[in-house]
Amino acid sequence: MQTVTIGRLTVEITYPAQPGSESGMPEVSYNASAFLPGTEATKIKTPTFLAPVGGDLYRALPIDAAHGPYPVIINIHGTASFRVANISMLTQWASRGFVVVSADYPGLDLHDMLASTIDCNLPTSGSQDVPTDVTTQITALTSPTGPLAFLAGHIDVNRLGITGHSQGACVTATLSTDPHVQVVVPMAGSVAVATSSTLKGITFIAGIDDKVITYNSALGSIGNVVCTQGNLQQSDTGAYTASPGPPAVKKRLVGITGGGHLSVTDLCTLNAAGVDAAHEAINDKVCGVGDAVIIGLAALDDCGTVDMDTGIHDTNYASTAAFEEVLMCADRTAAFANLTQNLPTVGDYQQAQ
């Protein structure tokens, strides 16, 4: 993994490293409070450290130049989140031969969402324009130079997948029209994927007990307040149904039993005090968090009842198979045919025929 700057964006690049180069190197973890605005991180009494389930993430290793060129996945975080909120997925995809690009999106990330509240009243990093920010990344990856030079000759941006969580998923659904994009994986999103001549695959993944963007019904979907772009369907299943499908596009829906809004991320990680980062911020009176609580605690802390590692495992399995099928032309028929058998906590699996 390397942290780089692309335009106005701070970006994590996660990639397959040269085998053996990790020897003697420390594994990477991230302090969630580092993404708070101003000096608010100093209020945190017990920090929450995010690290991939299963480990094996290291910083600044040489890329595995013996293989590739690697397809690319662009990841878009949700409202009031940050670039490593689903660090387990970033690591999983890189371990399977993808280069993963995950940015902090100005106006959408945790820093700016809190900083812009009356309670904080702190400088932000810019206004929200995720589609333009994604285009900026694609352009930079097409001819990697400067901090991206280590990727030159090792990536194929014409084999591009886009994924995102919550509002990031809703934006993801609208970006399928970019000619580089071949597959999209919206996680907990309620916007139907836009039709495109280059699109080959769609996989929606969500928690069935999501209290922010509901799985089956528009009732109670408070997340639709922010997911206003594109063909809004107000639920995961509604977005799946309204998206393009066969014969041109392979289309699937994966619902995790007991999964909440955050079950497809690492944001349910508990710290040494046994609470997650959202509750720690509430307990330590971080500025701006109270505004989100007024909207509804579910917006910050909907982890559902499924075990966190299980939710991550289910998400890794389904998303990786979807990306490999399209971007690597791999036969993942068996992986999907056996999905509910291999993942007993998947309570709903649909594949358009």
Q: What is the CATH number of the domain that holds 96?
A: 3.40.50.1820
Contact 187, 165 (CB under 8 A): yes
So what's the pLDDT on residue 220? 60
Average pLDDT of 297-308? 80
Contact 11, 1 (CB under 8 A): no
Query: 24 to each of 20, 21, 27, 53, 59, how far by Cα in Å?
Result: 9, 8, 9, 20, 12
Q: What does the chain come to in residues?
A: 353
DSSP assignments along 218-232, one per residue: STT-GGGGT--SSEE
Summarize pLDDT for 309-320 with one digit per residue, the tens: 999 999 999 999
Number of domains in the chain: 1
Query: 334 to each of 35, 197, 342, how far by Cα in Å?
Result: 40, 27, 11
Summarize pLDDT for 227-266 with one digit per residue, the tens: 888 888 889 999 999 999 999 999 999 999 999 999 999 9
DSSP summary character for residue 109: B
Angle value at C-alpha 233, between 231 and 237, nearest 5 degrees: 125
Residue 1 has pLDDT above 50, yes or no: yes
Summarize pLDDT for 53-84 with one digit per residue, the tens: 999 999 999 999 999 999 999 999 999 999 99
Work out the mean pLDDT of the chain and round it to a whole number.
94
Q: Please state, for a pLDDT cut of 90, what percent of the chain lies above it.
A: 88
How far apart CA 55 and CA 243 sit, in angstroms, is 35
Please count the helices (runs of H) and the strands (runs of E) in the chain: 11, 13
So what's the pLDDT on residue 234? 83
Domain boundaries, position 7: 2-351
Contact 18, 68 (CB under 8 A): no
Contact 11, 4 (CB under 8 A): yes
Summarize pLDDT for 20-42 with one digit per residue, the tens: 999 999 999 999 999 999 999 99
At 56, which amino acid appears? D
How far apart CA 186 and CA 174 sit, in angstroms, is 10
How far apart CA 353 and CA 252 sit, in angstroms, is 10
Average pLDDT of 264-279? 95
So what's the pLDDT on residue 218? 67
Stated pTM of the model: 0.96
Residue 226 has pLDDT above 80, yes or no: no
Average pLDDT of 324-336? 97
How far apart CA 214 and CA 327 sit, in angstroms, is 29
So what's the pLDDT on residue 293? 53
